[in-house]
Amino acid sequence: MGNLSFFLPVATAISFPTHQLLPSPPPIILAAGGGRRRRGVGLCSLWSGERPLVEGIINQSIAALGVLQQIHPPYQEESRLDSLRTKAMDVNAASVSSSPSSCTTPETEDLQFDGRHHERAPLLLPTKIMDAADEKGERPDLTEDTAHQISVDPWYQVGFVLITGVNSAYVLGYSGSIMVPLGWIAGTCGLLLAAAISMYANALLARLHEVGGKRHIRYRDLAGHIYGRKIYGLTWALQYVNLFMINTGFIILAGQALKATYALFRDDGALKLPYCIAISGFVCALFAFGIPYLSALRVWLGFSTLFSLIYIVIAFVLSLRDGMAAPARDYSIHGPHGTRIFTTIGAVADLVFAYNTGMLPEIQATIRPPVVKNMEKALWFQFTVGSLPLYAVTFMGYWAYGSSTSTYLLNNVKGPVWIKATANMSAFLQTVIALHIFASPMYEFLDTKYGSGHGGPFAFHNMVFRVLVRGGYLTVNTLVAAVLPFLGDFMSLTGALSTFPLTFVLANHMYLMVKGHKLSAIQKSWHWLNVIGFSGLAVAAAVAAVRLIMLDSSTYHFFADL
């Protein structure tokens, strides 16, 4: 039983099951009860000389009913909520007229939460909360309203989620998209420096997860809490553009892996890239139908790690063998001076893209408390052990093939057909799993806003909903991927438009907004340097990416078979 002694009259009258409370109680409960660890603060202790305060507490408790019903079955209709509010108002009137001497203060236990979400009640949508807050001139205070499971995963599971993103099949392109434009010195230093800066920026963001005494389970919720409604909307737009483009790139990448596999056995060109992209989108949709939320990946993260190791080890070993047998390679950076400037900027954007997800709060939402400490463990796991495969295959690929390295390394390697086919199919399967991670914020939004909210995740009506809604979303992704299959361009533009602002600009500025009064002048200057510097890099990278897309658009046609 939770620390709910002041709430007991209301709870008793409406027979509310207090054993099924939220993982973090509503702010009013914390305010009156003294927090999760305080005992014995009852209504009586507040009554003497504080009648207006008690009435305010009861009225605010009524408003909290909608939030408290988020996870208690059965699913309640709006009429039921109105009935509960009416009963609570009756209790309010009775409590005000009662004698204070009749009150008792029972001993209560600390709030507990078993980590499992049950049925959820109708949700107050974020946009409505924002509108109401704006009308009152208040900052929005969003609750943990979500149809997905949160606060249940150990730190190492979250670490494997991050590693799945870092060591996705995109790593097979870094030798060509990062090392070739930058060369040995700039490329190596860039990869290491980008890792250090990314670790720092992500740690800043992780430390803001509980700003204001509550968890912010979405990036836009955190931005809205700090800045207000306008930045809430802007952050939402930036993040979903970022994730949509990443998902599109994953489908292109999966299609390339399928086409490369087919080309190993048949060279008739019958299976073209757009067909492979369509097949990839269909398989990704099938996987999305069966995995209801991010925490449900579990064993699939193990398969993802296995698939990653297969194609990385094969690419590494075959590149090593080719490099030892090949003559001296050319590592010089080719092209006119102007072109080299733009390709260098694009490679810098790829450096940022390599380590960052653009959805850290959504990933952190799945982790068990203490959320900041555990998230930092997961980040250290990602940026130490988890990044070693990326370095190995990137450096080995560039060493073996020099400036002729392809943006898909498995196109360069030579070896037995069955080994190369295994690597390509592993890349395809890992991409299907990785895409689900980066699509999960969109799935969470759709499930929370439009889902039925009752029944288990594998209930028939919920399965039908996922088939229709997620299938529609991935159909759009697949169509865009088939029309514009420029993989390197997508990586560059994604890093420019969204990953730079979300990971570096906003993270540093939000930290300034929240912690600025505790920072020294030197620390403030450092954060402002990051904000201004990465804003400039984002603009430059966007220009370079648009130029690259325009060049490729003049070279390739829609639905090109690259």
Residues 226, 514: contact at Cβ < 8 Å? yes
CA 361 remoteness from chain centre: 6
In angstroms, the Cα distances linking 536 to 107, 353, 462, 500, 539 are: 58, 16, 45, 10, 5
- The angle, 0 to 180 degrees and rounded to 10, between the axes of the packed helices 337-355 and 487-494 is 70
Alpha helix (H) residue ranges in 356-495: 360-364, 371-383, 388-401, 417-450, 460-483, 487-494
User: Do the domain assignments include residue 116?
Assistant: no
Range 231-237, long-range pairs (CB < 8 A, 24+ positions): 232/126, 232/130, 232/140, 235/502, 235/506
Task: Return the DSSP state at 151.
Answer: S
Structure confidence at residue 66 (pLDDT): 46
Choose the final residue of a domain: 80, 113, 146: 80
Task: Return the DSSP state at 125.
Answer: -
User: Do the domain assignments include residue 253?
Assistant: yes
Are 308 and 410 in a shared domain? yes
Structure confidence at residue 493 (pLDDT): 73
User: Do the domain assignments include residue 22?
Assistant: yes
Residues 365, 215: contact at Cβ < 8 Å? yes
Are 75 and 160 in a shared domain? no
CA–CA dist 390, 407 (Å, integer)? 14
Contacts of 104 (CB under 8 A, 6+ apart): 42, 44
Structure confidence at residue 486 (pLDDT): 65
Structure confidence at residue 60 (pLDDT): 54
User: Do the domain assignments include residue 518?
Assistant: yes
Q: Annotate 72-119 with three-state secondary structure.
A: CCCCCCHHHHHHHHHHHHHHHHHHHHCCHHHCCCCCCCCCCCCCCCCC
User: Do the domain assignments include residue 52?
Assistant: yes
Are 289 and 417 in a shared domain? yes
Are 188 and 275 in a shared domain? yes
Are 169 and 261 in a shared domain? yes
Number of domains forming the structure of the chain: 2
Are 185 and 45 in a shared domain? no
CA–CA dist 88, 288 (Å, integer)? 42
Are 357 and 474 in a shared domain? yes
Q: Report residue 525 as tokens.
A: 């200057």
Q: Is 122 left (phi over 0), alpha (psi -120 to 50) or beta?
A: beta
Are 61 and 187 in a shared domain? no
Choose the final residue of a domain: 80, 112, 147: 80
Contacts of 437 (CB under 8 A, 6+ apart): 161, 164, 165, 294, 297, 357, 363
Nearest to 256 by CA among 63, 488, 6: 488
CA–CA dist 502, 197 (Å, integer)? 14
CA–CA dist 334, 35 (Å, integer)? 63
Are 73 and 175 in a shared domain? no
CA–CA dist 494, 542 (Å, integer)? 9
CATH of the domain at 309: 1.20.1740.10
CA–CA dist 306, 219 (Å, integer)? 30
Are 183 and 268 in a shared domain? yes
Which burial class, exposed, middle or buried, applies to 10 when counting CB atoms under 10 A from its CB (0-12, 13-18, 19+)? buried
Are 325 and 214 in a shared domain? yes
Angle (CA) 311-316-319 rounded to 5° is 120
User: Do the domain assignments include residue 115?
Assistant: no
* DSSP code string of 516-529: GGGS-HHHHHHHHH
Q: Bridge-partner residues for 367, per DSSP?
A: 153
Choose the final residue of a domain: 80, 114, 136: 80
User: Do the domain assignments include residue 124?
Assistant: no
- The tens-digit pLDDT sequence of the chain (562 residues) is 444 433 333 333 333 333 333 333 333 333 333 333 333 334 344 344 445 554 555 455 545 444 444 433 333 333 344 444 444 444 444 444 443 333 333 332 332 333 333 334 333 334 444 444 445 444 443 344 777 888 889 999 999 999 999 999 999 999 998 999 999 999 999 999 999 999 999 999 999 999 988 889 999 999 999 999 889 999 998 888 888 888 998 999 999 999 999 999 998 888 999 999 999 999 999 999 999 989 899 899 999 999 999 999 999 999 999 999 988 889 999 888 888 888 888 888 888 888 988 899 999 999 999 999 999 999 999 999 999 999 999 999 999 999 999 988 999 999 999 999 999 999 999 999 999 999 999 999 999 888 877 788 888 999 999 999 999 999 999 999 988 776 556 666 766 878 888 889 999 999 999 998 999 999 999 999 999 999 999 999 888 888 887 887 777 777 777 6
Asked whether the bond before 52 is cis by omega within 30 degrees of 0, the reply is: no
Are 61 and 161 in a shared domain? no
Task: State the residue range of the domain holding 56.
Answer: 1-80
Q: Report residue 69 as tokens.
A: 């019903």
Residues 210, 372: contact at Cβ < 8 Å? yes
Q: 3-state DSSP call for residue 367?
A: strand
Alpha helix (H) residue ranges in 105-218: 126-136, 155-166, 174, 180-207
End-to-end CA separation in angstroms for the chain:
62
User: Do the domain assignments include residue 138?
Assistant: no
Which residue is it, tokens 């005494």?
213
Q: Report residue 501 as tokens.
A: 């602002």
- Other CB atoms within 10 Å distance of the CB of residue 369: 13
